[in-house]
Amino acid sequence: MRHKVRNWIERNTRLAWLGLAILVLMFVALLWNEWQSEKRASMKEVEWMPLVPLDFGLTQPIPRDIILDKGKVALGKSLFHDARLSSDDSVSCASCHDLSGGGVDNRARSLGVNGGVGGINAPTVLNSGFNFVQFWDGRAPTLEAQVDGPVNHPLEMASNWGQVLGKLMQDEDYRVRFLSAYPDGITSSNVKDALATFERSLVTPDSPFDRYLRGDKTALDAPALRGWQLFQSYGCVSCHQGSNLGGNFYERMGLMGDYFGDRGNHTEADNGRYNVTHDEADRHYFRVPSLRNVALTYPYFHDGSIDNLNDAVRTMAKYQLGRAMPDDDVEAIVAFLVSLTGRSVAEQQP
**Binding-site ranges for ligand HEC (CB under 6 A):** 85, 91, 93, 95-97, 110, 112, 118, 120, 122-123, 125, 128, 131, 134-136, 143, 146-147, 150-151, 156-157, 195, 199, 234-236, 238-240, 251, 253, 255, 286, 288-289, 291, 294, 297, 300-302, 312-313, 316-317, 320-321, 333
Of residues 211 and 240, the one with the C-beta less far from ligand HEC? 240
Residue 12 or 150 having the CB closest to ligand HEC: 150
Length of the chain: 350
Q: Cα separation of 49 and 52, whole Å?
A: 9
Distances (CA, A) of 250 to 95, 223, 290: 28, 30, 12
Q: What is the rounded (10 degree) CA torsion for 105, 106, 108, 111?
A: -30
Q: Is 156 known to be catalytic?
A: yes
Within a 13 Å sphere around the CA of 241, how many CA atoms are in the beta-carbon half? 13
Nearer to ligand HEC, 243 or 320 (CB): 320
162-180 as b/e: b if 16+ CB within 10 A: ebbeebbeeeeebeebbee
> ω into residue 223 within 30 of 0, thus cis?
no
CB 107 within 8 A of CB 305: no
Least distance CB 66 / ligand HEC (angstroms): 16
Q: Is the dihedral of CA 234, 236, 238, 242 positive or negative?
A: negative
Q: Which is nearer to ligand HEC, 16 or 326 (CB)?
A: 326
Please give the backbone phi and psi of residue 251, each rounded to the nearest 5 degrees, phi first.
-145, 160
CB 293 within 8 A of CB 102: yes
Which one is catalytic: 144, 156, 199, 251? 156
The span from the first CA to the last CA of the chain, in angstroms, equals 97
Is 75 or 313 the residue whose CB approaches ligand HEC more closely?
313
CB nearer ligand HEC, residue 16 or residue 165:
165
**ω into 299 cis (within 30 of 0):** yes
For 116-128, give the secondary structure using H, E and C. Answer: CECCCCCCCCCCH
What amino acid is encoded at 349 in this protein? Q
CB of 121 to ligand HEC, least distance (A): 6
Shortest distance in whole angstroms from residue 267 CB to ligand HEC: 11
If we measure between CA atoms, which residue out of 64, 54, 87 comes closest to residue 235? Answer: 54
Q: Give least dist CB 131 to ligand HEC, A.
A: 5
- Least distance in Å: CB of 348 to ligand HEC? 18
Q: How far is the CB of 144 from ligand HEC (least distance, A)?
A: 10
CB closer to ligand HEC, 205 vs 299: 299
Active site residues: 156
